[in-house]
Structure 1
């Protein structure tokens, strides 16, 4: 019990809990939302569909560490970074002067990189579900004069609801284990419970002292959080009678 008392009394752990909630909410909204949009577009008969599918999935075959350092050292670099250079070229000086690697912006920068790295797998999962929906449903909707937006919300989403529930659970599980990006963007403003647990068990370069008991307590808490969100997602998104 003393380990748990020490854990919740630790200000770094409390910061990590706030961070993981932000990462789960913001990254989840954009990752799953953008993946749904990409899957809806790729499920149509567009030119070069296989090529664009491969491009979207490409980050999944690249090391997370490599993606993290590419964003941190190149894209977000304040002197020659891609984002600042782009805004500077088009004349938006106020946006080009943003310090993406400053402590105030580092969490947002890490979330952007995490969204980029995670979209691919969820896009393929949604795309696989959408392509199994019979075309007859859409043909009837077109005959009735319904547009693509209506078809997406009234046909596509209801029929892939179980897949959305599955991806929500998978995303929550991966978020609880959010470690690599937090390690790359290493700062108190980006620390997560998994990185906190790692630091308590193995120590850090700056502070080699360890507290294995507190680290174990942190791991148990993350397991309980994972179970809670699994139950919550199953409660919010009911299993449907029809799925594809």
Structure 2
């Protein structure tokens, strides 16, 4: 027994120390930093200036940060509805017994394999370019000159260009999650309902959707996590300064920590950057708790 306990301690202690050092310590330090003014992220604790909730108050009084929250809320809501709906539709089509399922599944998932930088660059240079981009050329060929003349990367259209391109890349990821849930549903349910006279739409709304409640919860949480860390796409669509049409909290946090030449963000403040990280973390936790509360599947059986 003593020997077994020694072996248990020998295997668990290194992992526990690693977990505390890599995950728990940075979290605690970030929470503490959010209550201080810290000019440089590498400044020693002796240079930290205590501000209490001042960082949070300043953030919610900053117009650009408020705009970043509005943008991220629009991405989460509009993008989430579009991405999860289309990915669910594609998952249903691919699990309906069509030929070439593997090919279509791989083709739809392909954008997730490509680097986000490469994908964003492709959209900016070859899809939204007003001179030779795909949309401009396509609309010109079919005679829709009014659409061909749209400047997709101007202040008026840039946000929706960003949202469209990001959603396009995320559909494949969420489609695979839907497929994993659909393939768990027993075919006997559909056979029995078919005998009772249920059509495909009735089967979808009364069998498929209820039994995918847990998968919907997973997709919502995964979508929320990816949106909380939204950075590369926004930065590439507005590479020079934080653009009000595409700025998100992660970009604002980056400019706060490392500085930027804008009227809204003048000095560096790693403490304010830490506060933004805590706000984003709280956002994900709230979504997680609400999703678990609303989308319960304890009463469902497969």
TM-score bracket for this pair, using the shorter chain length: over 0.9
1:1-244 → structure 2 map (5 Å cutoff): 1-186=53-238, 187-204=243-260, 209-242=267-300
Change (3 A) 1:223 1:97: same
Q: How far apart are the structure 2 equivalents of 1:209 and 1:82?
A: 41
Q: How far apart are the structure 2 equivalents of 1:96 and 1:89?
A: 9
Query: What's the CA shift for 1:208?
Result: 7.8
Matched positions, count: 244
Larger Rg: 2
Q: How far apart are the structure 2 equivalents of 1:157 and 1:37?
A: 12
Q: How far apart are the structure 1 equivalents of 2:111 and 2:230?
A: 17
Q: How far apart are the structure 2 equivalents of 1:121 and 1:219?
A: 25
Task: Give the 3-state SS of the residue equivalent to 1:190 in structure 2.
Answer: coil
Q: How far apart are the structure 1 equivalents of 2:135 and 2:128?
A: 6
Judge conservation of contact 1:162–1:240 (CA < 8 Å) in 2. Answer: no
Shifted more, 191-200 versus 223-232: the winner is: 223-232
- Residue 37 of structure 2 is matched in structure 1 by none
Query: What's the CA shift for 1:239?
Result: 2.7
Q: How far apart are the structure 1 equivalents of 2:172 and 2:220?
A: 15
TM-score, normalised with respect to structure 2: 0.77
Q: How far apart are the structure 1 equivalents of 2:167 and 2:219?
A: 14
Task: Give the 3-state SS of the residue equivalent to 2:151 in structure 1.
Answer: coil
Unaligned stretches of 5+ in structure 2?
A: 1-52
Q: How far apart are the structure 1 equivalents of 2:235 and 2:300?
A: 42
Q: How far apart are the structure 2 equivalents of 1:193 and 1:138?
A: 45
Query: What's the CA shift for 1:60?
Result: 0.8
Q: How far apart are the structure 2 equivalents of 1:150 and 1:121?
A: 27
Q: How far apart are the structure 1 equivalents of 2:85 and 2:150?
A: 26
TM-score, normalised with respect to structure 1: 0.95
Task: Give the 3-state SS of the residue equivalent to 2:79 in structure 1.
Answer: helix
Q: How far apart are the structure 1 equivalents of 2:115 and 2:75?
A: 20
Q: How far apart are the structure 2 equivalents of 1:188 and 1:74?
A: 24
Query: What's the CA shift for 1:145?
Result: 2.6
Q: How far apart are the structure 2 equivalents of 1:205 and 1:80?
A: 32
The two structures, once aligned, show a CA RMSD in angstroms of 1.5
Task: Give the 3-state SS of the residue equivalent to 1:188 in structure 2.
Answer: coil
Q: How far apart are the structure 1 equivalents of 2:191 and 2:254?
A: 54
Residue deviations 1:168-215, cap 9 Å, x none? Answer: 011111111111111111122100001111111122477784221211
- Residue 47 of structure 2 is matched in structure 1 by none
Q: How far apart are the structure 2 equivalents of 1:92 and 1:179?
A: 34
Q: How far apart are the structure 2 equivalents of 1:133 and 1:237?
A: 18
Q: How far apart are the structure 1 equivalents of 2:78 and 2:134?
A: 23
Residue deviations 1:86-126, cap 9 Å, x none? Answer: 11111111211111101011110000011011111110111
* Dislocated runs of 4+, deviation >6 Å: 205-208
